[in-house]
Amino acid sequence: MRELSDDALSGKTEEFRRRIKDGETTNQLLPEAFAAICEADRRILGMEPYDCQILGGIALHYGCLAEMNTGEGKTLTATMPLYLNALTGKSTMLVTANDYLAERDAEEMGPVYVFLEMTVRSGVNVDQKEDHNNDAKREVYQADIVYTTHSVLGFDYLLNNLVSSAEKRFMREFYYVIIDEADMVLMDAATMPLVISGAPRVQSNLYEMTDFFVTTLQSGRDYVEEDQSVWLTDEGVAWAERYFRINGFYEAENFELNRHVTLALKAHITMERDKDYVVTEKGEVSLLDNGTGRVLPGMKLRGGMHQAIEAKEKLTITQENRSVASVTYQNLFLLFPRLSGMSGTISDAKSEIRKIYKKSVVIIPPNRPLQRVDQKDLFFKNATEQYKAAVREVLKRHATGQPVLIVTSTIADTELVSRVLIERKVAHSVLNANNAYWEAQIIKEAGQKGTVTVSTGMAGRGTDIRLGPGVKELGGLAVVGIGRMANIRLERQARGRAGRQGDPGCSQFFVSLEDDAVSAVGEKTLEKYVDRDHRISNRKLKRLINGTQKLQEEMAVSQRKRSVDYDKVMKRQRTMMYEARNRLLDGGSLEFKVVLQMAYEGIHLFLFENRHLTTGDITGYVLNHISYNLDGRFLKIGQVKRKALERALISYINSVWKKKKRSFSSAKELKEYIRLCALHAIDDAWVEQVDYLQQLQYVVSGRASAQRNPVFEYHMEAYDSFLRMERTIQNEIVRNIFLGEAAYSKTGEMYVLFP
């Protein structure tokens, strides 16, 4: 490839595409295609991929999750499998952690793809003033290679399945994706659902009432917390029934009250300010990514959870909207036939990755041997001793000019460390969710001589910390971790900020019994050890703290598994509904005889469920389902037998149907009318179903107190609600067809005036 002229090298893309059309596979083409893109990288970017990067590219092409150390050049690695898979003409994407990285990678790697006669686009809208409408999005997703973020991709997928006509769809069918920072996306953010909200629901005053109610409850007696779930005990249920003056807390008529109590409990017990969310200066609740501490812009918790937190924080309660569409990242990425990813720490979760995503993890060796020295953790009984020791270490290293990156687990801890450094007159930068806008700039400077940076776990993932002049001689970047993190992957990510590409560096963690992650042991157990007078061996201290981290990781795995179990129901139902919807969008319609059959079934069911009908009941049914022009015979129905009444209603349906058919100039127009009526009925019913399933999860989580399996209960009720939805769709299709009116736009396009 090196001997080819620029024009000949560029022309290879057309040759490769032709060979794939002639039956050659991407696997067979890999050596030549990788050679071409490697040479293009060298000529255009001045960067020739190392052997380890080529190995990483091969692993990504074969659908593995590749563990590559920080600073090993994952961005350049991705160019090889992206180019190879884009040759198929199918959708090829790289999904990364944030808007900045997606835009940067598309811009920096773009010239290589353009040189090889491919199109590349960024799916993120960095300039919020620009409106990314469907046409603009279609242009993005039609590109050979798309760089985007997991959240943008998820929302676009949902929006693409809410369009009202085939022409408005903007996405291609999913094919190949590489997920950068795969452990964060597939695990740490996996249970955070993406929800599109629609019409607001009627707002209740139950948020404030139930918020006050849960403050009267006593832990252990009235409620139990376990594995990030919380539910009322029998005593708590009895107290709720007395407090709200109701009978049967779990009865159907108390569904809303039950839901609001469960939401308030979760808001108070499982959601922690500055760890799970922050309250902005505008008095708004913004969610935080647990793994990185980054703010999740535009994200709101579903099913009323967001409003429950607002009630807890005594903020103005925002409007609770209906959930129109929803998907978790787990199920979003399982839609790709070819899924791969890369991260610096994915091997620690290889068993979970294999179980959920059916993927292998491959560890790619570094280009240069790792020089970083990871010192043994230092253990302390309490936070006071822990912070004193950590600050002493920072000051000692700072005095030599060595750059120091201090990594903490929460926003509150970054601000505490910052105050201590200000008292010691140490200039420093702070990087957390409150100033994430400056993330790339802060991290770029973190390797300069004399620099001190305080950060949450976000610590500029995806941005290299390059060492300044003279820093290698001082020992490179020193990472000081304060506090045990929720899992070992996050700690490895923090350590990995130092020692890129064989640079020197070191890391040291200072942990204590008062760290947030250690709280899983329980306050009573910890109190006696934190007490200054209580002696505890270093060995026991280490075992206790490390044991709680393991417990936290097991709880997180269990929570993710439960999320998958819940979402299996939504996935099956969503797949069926989207398939039905797509058939209608692509011009499919219902046969005339099917429409009549559904109308007959509706009549039969109405008569079966209502044994003692009055004239008013009959006329009401006719006016609500068949025609606004009431036939006189139904005003004098008297005591007619059910069979005779059914024959009369069917006869009337047939006559109205004939009249409706005659109102259209052709069978084609009538089919289009039926198609629009069916599409509207499906959309309305699915919105209600999605919204109901969102709420149902919170309600069933409280049933563990009744020794019932919440996931089993959820599956059973979700199935029943799906059957009810099917009946509703049939009724609404018939109602829309018989009572709706066709109208036409100025361009001659049909639309329907629905009843």
Mean pLDDT of 645-655: 89
Using alpha carbons, select from 334, 364, 462, 398 the residue that is nearest to residue 75: 462
Across the chain, what does the average pLDDT equal? 86
Q: Which of 536, 556, 578 is the C-terminal boundary of a domain?
A: 536
Using alpha carbons, select from 124, 113, 125 the residue that is nearest to residue 81: 113
Confidence band of 89 (pLDDT split at 50, 70, 90): very high
Segments forming the whole domain that contains residue 137: 6-194+331-363
Running DSSP on this structure, what letter comes out for residue 469? T
DSSP per position, 333-387? HTT-SEEEEEESSGGGGHHHHHHHH---EEEPPPSS----EEPPPEEESSHHHHH
CA distances from 394 to 405, 460, 506, 601 (A): 9, 20, 12, 76
Look at residue 291 in the predicted model and tell me its pLDDT.
56
Task: Write out the two tokens for 344.
Answer: 């610096």
Cβ within 8 Å of residue 453, ≥6 positions away: 403, 404, 405, 406, 428, 429, 430, 431, 442, 443, 445, 446
Weakest mean pLDDT among 148-152, 357-361, 629-633: 629-633
Give residue-wise pLDDT tens across range 364-385.
999 999 899 999 999 888 888 9
The 3-state secondary structure of 70-106, one letter per residue:
CCCCHHHHHHHHHHHHHCCCCCEEEEECCHHHHHHHH
Pair 748, 606 in one domain:
yes
- pLDDT greater than 90 at residue 203: no
Q: Does any domain span residue 683?
A: yes
Contact 338/332 with Cβ under 8 angstroms? no
Confidence band of 85 (pLDDT split at 50, 70, 90): very high
Pair 59, 41 in one domain:
yes
Pair 666, 726 in one domain:
yes
Look at residue 324 in the predicted model and tell me its pLDDT.
77
SS3 label, residue 481: strand
The 3-state secondary structure of 378-389, one letter per residue:
EEECCHHHHHHH
Using alpha carbons, select from 104, 106, 101, 100 the residue that is nearest to residue 120: 106
Confidence band of 732 (pLDDT split at 50, 70, 90): very high
Pair 717, 690 in one domain:
yes
List the CATH number of the domain containing 91.
Answer: 3.40.50.300
- pLDDT greater than 80 at residue 143: yes
- Distance from C-alpha of 708 to C-alpha of 544, rounded to nearest angstrom: 32
Residue recorded with tokens 């809208």: 125
Number of domains forming the structure of the chain: 4
Q: Does any domain span residue 469?
A: yes
Confidence band of 328 (pLDDT split at 50, 70, 90): confident
Pair 182, 227 in one domain:
no
Cβ within 8 Å of residue 527, ≥6 positions away: none
Cα 471 to the chain's mean position, in Å?
A: 40
List the CATH number of the domain containing 220.
Answer: 3.90.1440.10
Weakest mean pLDDT among 422-431, 556-565, 582-591: 556-565
DSSP per position, 185-246? IIIITTTS-EEEEEEEPPPPSHHHHHHHHHTT--BTTTEEEETTEEEE-HHHHHHHHHHHT-
Q: Does any domain span residue 238?
A: yes
Confidence band of 458 (pLDDT split at 50, 70, 90): low
Q: Does any domain span residue 140?
A: yes
Using alpha carbons, select from 683, 677, 682 the residue that is nearest to residue 750: 677
- pLDDT greater than 80 at residue 226: no
- Distance from C-alpha of 125 to C-alpha of 725, rounded to nearest angstrom: 37
Pair 616, 747 in one domain:
yes
Of 506 and 589, the structure prediction assigns the larger pLDDT to: 506
Dihedral angle over CA of 391, 396, 399, 401, nearest 10: -90
- pLDDT greater than 80 at residue 262: yes
Cβ within 8 Å of residue 671, ≥6 positions away: 589
Pair 282, 424 in one domain:
no
Give residue-wise pLDDT tens across range 398-436.
999 999 999 998 888 888 999 999 999 999 998 876 655
Look at residue 225 in the predicted model and tell me its pLDDT.
80
Q: Does any domain span residue 45?
A: yes
Q: Does any domain span residue 568?
A: no
Look at residue 724 in the predicted model and tell me its pLDDT.
93
Mean pLDDT of 130-152: 88
- Distance from C-alpha of 389 to C-alpha of 373, rounded to nearest angstrom: 19
User: 589-622 burial, b if ≥16 CB within 10 A, otherwise e?
Assistant: bbeeeebbebbbebbeebbeeeeebeeeebeebb
Mean pLDDT of 124-153: 84
Residue recorded with tokens 């020193």: 478
User: Considering the chain, what percentage of its residues have pLDDT values greater than 70?
Assistant: 90
Count of CB atoms situated within 10 Å of the CB of 182? 29
- pLDDT greater than 60 at residue 616: yes
Pair 336, 311 in one domain:
no
Pair 266, 290 in one domain:
yes
Running DSSP on this structure, what letter comes out for residue 744? E
Residue 178: Cβ-neighbour burial (10 angstroms; 0-12, 13-18, 19+): buried
Using alpha carbons, select from 421, 428, 432 the residue that is nearest to residue 445: 428
Strand order from edge to edge, sheet including 176-180: 120-122, 145-149, 92-96, 176-180, 338-343, 65-67, 361-363
Task: Write out the two tokens for 221.
Answer: 């007696």
Q: Does any domain span residue 566?
A: no
Using alpha carbons, select from 392, 372, 353, 394 the residue that is nearest to residue 190: 353
- pLDDT greater than 90 at residue 45: yes
List the CATH number of the domain containing 638.
Answer: 1.10.3060.10
Running DSSP on this structure, what letter comes out for residue 431? E
Element at 122 (helix H, strand E): strand 120-122
User: Considering the chain, what percentage of its residues have pLDDT values greater than 90?
Assistant: 47
Task: Write out the two tokens for 196.
Answer: 């599109």
Q: Report the interhelical angle of 255-269 vs 206-214 (nearest 10°).
A: 50
Pair 222, 99 in one domain:
no
- Distance from C-alpha of 98 to C-alpha of 267, rounded to nearest angstrom: 27
Confidence band of 195 (pLDDT split at 50, 70, 90): confident
Pair 138, 25 in one domain:
yes
Pair 76, 37 in one domain:
yes
Residue 494: Cβ-neighbour burial (10 angstroms; 0-12, 13-18, 19+): buried
Task: Write out the two tokens for 461.
Answer: 């993932």
Give residue-wise pLDDT tens across range 626-645.
988 877 666 665 566 778 88
**Where do the H-state alpha helices sit in 536-641?**
538-585, 592-609, 615-625
Confidence band of 688 (pLDDT split at 50, 70, 90): confident
Cβ within 8 Å of residue 231, ≥6 positions away: 223, 224, 262, 265, 701, 702, 703, 704, 705
Look at residue 701 in the predicted model and tell me its pLDDT.
66
Mean pLDDT of 37-52: 96
Task: Write out the two tokens for 565.
Answer: 């179990």
Confidence band of 58 (pLDDT split at 50, 70, 90): very high
Q: Does any domain span residue 190?
A: yes
Mean pLDDT of 150-160: 90
Weakest mean pLDDT among 477-481, 564-568, 683-687: 564-568
Confidence band of 529 (pLDDT split at 50, 70, 90): low
Cβ within 8 Å of residue 17, ≥6 positions away: 87, 89
Look at residue 437 in the predicted model and tell me its pLDDT.
55
Give residue-wise pLDDT tens across range 289-303.
665 566 766 667 767
Rounded to 5°, the CA angle 565-292-426 comes to 160
